[in-house]
Amino acid sequence: MFEMSRPHAAKRGLLALALGAAALVGVPASADATTIASDAEVTSDNVHADDEFGAVVAVDGDLMVVGAPHHSTQKGKAYIFARDEGGADAWGQVAELTPSRNNNLSNFGQAVAIDGDTVVFGAPREYGAGARTGEVFVFARNEGGADAWGEVTSLAASDAADNDFFGRSLALEGDTLVVGASGDDDNGSDSGAVYIFERDAGTWSETVKLAPDDTGLNDQFGKRVALEGDTLVVAADDDTANGENDGAVYIFGRNEGGLDFWGDVAKLSAPATASNPDFGDAVAIASDYLVVGADAAEGGVAESGAAYVYGRDEGGADNWGLVSTLVGSGGAAGDAFGRTVALSADALLVGAERADARGTDSGVVYLFEMNAGQWTESQKLALPALGDDDLFGSSVAIDADTFAVGATTIISEGSVYMFRLIADTGGDAGVDAGPDAGPDAGVDAGADIGVDTGPSADTGTPEDTGADVNSDIGVEADAGDDAGSQADAGGRVPEDDGEPEDEGCACSSVGSTPGSAAGIFVALVALIGVRRRLS
């Protein structure tokens, strides 16, 4: 990858305009539910080109965690930001973290998980017990001083072996931590495994290793994980049981088959209509709903991507049945819709980082709202300041009324965009119900934020889905390439291990998003800093 970036003077002008009033973002797919947002970039003073800042994000309450797994010869670095740090509604940096052991190419921060005062980071290529065995580092607030974020411990697999990539994915809820090791070889090379750790009196101990008998060569079980309560979801998007790269998702239950035993509940495969979809490229579980991203699925257009929603007890007691298939309006081949997903009570985000709304691979994020018991697309987010190769949507995270979107950008430092969803009561939203001349028309430049609910050339009719609340937050991003990866054409730096680069995340959140009968949301943005390198 070249050490370069494109000029951003024009973008900064757009940003100033956006913050002064508002800029319509994307194209609403429904006149009943629309969203606008301003354009802002969140970054750190210690971010450089190719760091992939924003490759993973997680939000929990007033905290946001950002991974930059390619920082400093891919040693990796992580950052913690807090709301109201440095001003009301501002997001200010409170910590910049590196682990006690940080070798070149370890990719610290490639996976992150946060719950309360505990933050966990994966370094899947760390040289621990051997070459690229992987390691996980646990940090806590007030460790080493008031409001300090200090390292508590590091974790490794009890049977660590070369190229296990322990820490490839993470999910954390309370005293339970799930760690994916997609390179484990128990059932064949790269068949994959998942380790479960429990915390007791402040000490983390490995309690379970999951490696189903039906996994096999190159399945990469554990590439994605999600945890909610007593339900664990594990993806193996290279599973070949039903065809090459079809993928599979496993569901496990705590106390299923015995006390503290994690037993099989279900195994989900891609619908028969899909063809090599990378089913399981992203997963998120929320109460009685599970969303599975498949960024290479048909999605109405060949390889545009899709997200499949499953419901608990759908089709029978304790059965996980397909509820609906979700696609984005205006989808095109190679958009990678479904590579990232995030859920809250009545808001669902789906990333399509390869969409071309503002330039080649500029990226799009779709916001879906719960409306009359159905999920409908309410906004297609494509910020005016985006350009070629920005990869907006390469990570997404949501918690209550706050959501974050990463844009790792191929030729610059990477950024995270922060938004807040506010339910509109119909008073001062500045709604413009007139016709729309284009995706950025209908903006009210006055004191109020204008929302255009008029028709748009980009409008589509997605299929609806269902989701609910979730309480764990865990996200992951993958560095490296192989010939079967959707990311291969994107110009990322390949790793020397042949691992696929999916830049995805499996993330989830706590809380609910305010709603309204009209379903109109206004997104406000808190800006911490704008930093782009000028060529």
DSSP for 392-451? EEEEEEEETTEEEEEE--TTS--EEEEEEEEE--SSSS-EE-S--SSTT-S---SSSPPE
The pLDDT value recorded for residue 232 is 98
Q: Which residues pair with 340 in a beta bridge?
A: 351, 505
- Pick out the chain residues at pLDDT < 50: 1-37, 39, 427-472, 478-535
Looking at residue 530, its amino acid is: V
Range of the domain at 228: 9-184+192-524
pLDDT digits (tens, 9 = 90+) for 445-479: 222 322 333 333 333 333 433 333 333 456 555 43
CATH of the domain at 247: 2.130.10.130
The pLDDT value recorded for residue 222 is 98
Q: Is 257 exposed, middle or buried (0-12, 13-18, 19+ CB in 10 A)?
A: exposed
CB 109 within 8 A of CB 79: no
| Tokens coding 414 | 């990477």
For residue 301, count other CB atoms closer than 10 A to its CB: 17
The pLDDT value recorded for residue 520 is 31
Q: Is residue 2 part of a domain?
A: no
Q: Is residue 1 part of a domain?
A: no
The pLDDT value recorded for residue 521 is 33
Residues present in the chain in total: 535
Q: Which residues pair with 56 in a beta bridge?
A: 67
The pLDDT value recorded for residue 63 is 95
Looking at residue 513, its amino acid is: T
Q: Is 482 exposed, middle or buried (0-12, 13-18, 19+ CB in 10 A)?
A: middle
CB 271 within 8 A of CB 325: yes
Q: Is residue 67 part of a domain?
A: yes
The pLDDT value recorded for residue 41 is 73
The pLDDT value recorded for residue 325 is 86
Strands 176-181 and 193-200, bridge-based pairing: antiparallel
Q: Determine the Cα–Cα distance for residues 416 and 65; give it in Å rounded to an integer.
A: 10
- Report the number of distinct structural domains present in the chain: 1
The whole-model pTM stands at 0.79
Cα-Cα end-to-end distance for the chain? 15
The pLDDT value recorded for residue 519 is 34
Looking at residue 40, its amino acid is: A
Q: Is residue 265 part of a domain?
A: yes
Q: Is residue 518 part of a domain?
A: yes
